[in-house]
């Protein structure tokens, strides 16, 4: 059986999925698994296509101390016990910088260029690259493909792409990239099948999870995003600030004596819902908590989604539909209902029963702006890109052509 392996590596876990490729190039998810607790309580868990348990194994701490070690164990399990030898491996890479506007076949040169963006995505980029390096070293002939969270947004108009800084900095790569692009790309490609009436229309998509952002999409293309140069911008997230006055950063460094490394760690790890509540970074825990600070964090999150919806509506010059996706967006009827209240001025009127059922269409029949819940599938998007590239192995990594000034 020909397969594609998809890898999404974090700091303490490696998530992976295996897709079978049939003779017509169609993909079917066969295995979904992860190695979590890396460096603390390593555990391999995996399920099959029907949800049946394929593996649930604990390992000694010293045997799996980092992401490459986790990849070796998971890879050996796939190869030796399941007899799987993938055609290629597709990786989620958060930041493609100014160089890459589409998925690319990976070589050592590509890895070197992607290492330059580690400081722009410190929670993700180093861990995304770790399994790539490991596989390059041990299986150099195995094709690997990098799929970027920034790529979907790279066709932004220049007005959406720039900061109000000297152009030389923009030319060096200091610009608004946008993230969660693999999720938004999947939604844009799925709408013609699940909601064809809005597929080419003006749509706001809210990717709400531990990492959260919103995107204005028109005709299947990204027009504007709440995230910018890094994945800190925009909505408050589990532990990340979201939008913040740059003066706060200066204050932390000058008045509080924090170093750049301290500030980076603070903004990425100690803020967002965690910082606001002092309770948790998990929306489920915040909603069930009786602590007033938890309630305030939820209120703040809902309010910011409403504010950014107005910004994106302006970018689109009107809205034809609103789509919820990702962990919170797909699973929390309560948060969806509260956000919908903030969108009534736009013409959104929610149907409580359909919302409680997590239906595809959750707005009332007479709602001027329909609201949908569409489940995202970044892994399938990565698998599709990976299969497409290995079918065209003669193509070389493509660099973005800069638009003329």
Q: Give the residue numbers marked as catalytic.
A: 149
Sequence length of the chain is 405
Q: Is 200 exposed, middle or buried (0-12, 13-18, 19+ CB in 10 A)?
A: middle
Instruction: Name the CA radius of gyration of the chain, rounded.
Output: 21
Distance CA 129, CA 316 (A): 35
Q: Across the chain, which distance is largest between two alpha carbons, in Å? A: 63
Q: Are 304 and 341 in contact (CB under 8 A)?
A: no
As beta bridge partners, residue 191 has: none
DSSP labels for 346-380?
A: GT--B-HHHHHTT-SB-B-TT-SS-EEE----HHH
Q: Are 149 and 179 in contact (CB under 8 A)?
A: yes
Helix, strand and coil percent figures for the chain, each rounded to 5: 40, 20, 40
Pairing of strands 104-105, 13-21: unpaired
Distance CA 52, CA 166 (A): 56
Q: How many CB atoms lie within 10 A of CB 275?
A: 17
DSSP labels for 128-150?
A: HHHHHHHHHHH-TTS-EEEEESS
Tokens 């890895």 sit on residue? 111
Q: Coil, helix or strand for 334?
A: helix
């Amino acid at each position: 059986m020909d397969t594609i392996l998809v890898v999404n590596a974090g700091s303490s876990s490696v998530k992976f999925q295996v897709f079978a490729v049939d003779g017509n190039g169609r993909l079917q998810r066969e295995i979904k698994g992860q190695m979590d607790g890396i460096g603390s309580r390593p555990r391999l868990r995996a399920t099959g296509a029907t949800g049946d348990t394929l593996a649930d194994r604990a390992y000694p701490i010293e045997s799996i101390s980092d992401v490459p070690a986790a990849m070796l164990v998971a890879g050996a399990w796939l190869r030796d016990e399941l007899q799987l030898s993938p055609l290629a491996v597709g990786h989620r890479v958060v930041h493609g910088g100014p160089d890459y506007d589409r998925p690319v076949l990976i070589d050592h040169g590509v890895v070197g260029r992607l290492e330059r963006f580690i400081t722009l995505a410190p929670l993700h980029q180093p861990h995304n690259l770790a399994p790539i390096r490991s596989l390059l070293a041990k299986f150099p002939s195995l094709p690997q493909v990098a799929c970027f969270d920034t790529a979907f947004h790279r066709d932004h108009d220049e007005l959406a792409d720039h900061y109000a800084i000297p152009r030389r900095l923009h030319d060096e790569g200091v610009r608004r990239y946008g993230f969660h692009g693999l999720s938004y790309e999947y939604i844009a490609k799925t709408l013609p099948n699940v909601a064809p009436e809005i597929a080419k229309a003006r749509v706001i998509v809210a990717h709400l999870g531990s990492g959260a952002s919103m995107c204005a999409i028109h005709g299947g293309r990204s027009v504007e995003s709440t995230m910018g140069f890094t994945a800190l911008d925009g909505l408050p997230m589990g532990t990340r600030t979201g939008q913040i006055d740059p003066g706060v950063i200066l204050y932390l460094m000058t008045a509080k004596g924090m170093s750049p490394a301290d500030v980076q760690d603070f903004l990425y790890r100690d803020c967002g819902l965690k910082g606001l509540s002092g309770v948790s970074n998990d929306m489920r825990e915040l909603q069930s908590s009786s602590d007033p600070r938890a309630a305030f964090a939820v209120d703040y999150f809902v309010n910011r989604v409403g504010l950014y919806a107005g910004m994106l509506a302006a970018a689109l010059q009107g809205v034809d539909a609103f789509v919820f996706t990702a962990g919170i967006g797909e699973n929390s009827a309560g948060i969806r209902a509260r956000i919908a209240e903030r969108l009534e001025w736009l013409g959104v009127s929610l149907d409580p029963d359909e919302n409680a059922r997590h239906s595809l269409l959750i707005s009332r029949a007479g709602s001027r702006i329909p609201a949908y819940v569409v489940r995202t599938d970044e892994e399938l998007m990565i698998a599709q890109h990976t299969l497409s590239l290995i079918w065209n192995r003669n193509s070389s990594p493509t660099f973005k052509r800069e638009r003329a000034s």
